[in-house]
Amino acid sequence: MERTLAILKPDCVRKNLTGEVLARIQKAGFNVRALRQVQLSRAEAEGFYAVHHERPFFGELVAFMTSGPCVPMVLEKENAVADFRTLIGATDPAEAAEGTIRRDFADNKGQNIAHGSDSVENGRQEANYFFAEKELVSRGG
């Protein structure tokens, strides 16, 4: 089984879409191994998005991710990384496919409802940023 990190971003929480988006994730066959709601500090957001430090949108991204609570979660299924990125759609909701999470709920490229890891290795590293291995639970029942 493959794991990926998903984050329901502050705009998702602010719009009260957390339950609806989570339901879509589960309907798509993902097993939620860990989930919590957090308020990221500036240092935490800068650390998580350090790979983008030199990019022009870094400051705006950090400000957005610290603007309200978000919901990181570890998802598991076969082909989790690619399947989750397909489920959420393109970064720019205007370019996202019909029926994707971003197309249906996101306002713009900067506030696009969800984060998804872009590789299996990043999925592991990003999951470890928010959750210890002992916090990951098996699917119940």
Catalogue the active-site residues.
115
Alpha helices in the chain (DSSP H): 10-14, 18-27, 42-48, 58-65, 80-88, 101-105, 120-130
Per DSSP bridges, beta strands 31-35 and 2-8 are unpaired
Q: Taking Cα atoms as reference points, which of 105, 99, 124, 118 lies closest to residue 33?
A: 124
Q: How far is the C-alpha of 37 from the C-alpha of 10, rounded, in Å?
A: 10
Residues with Cβ < 8 Å from 93, sequence gap 6 or more? Answer: 102, 103, 105, 106, 107, 108, 109, 112
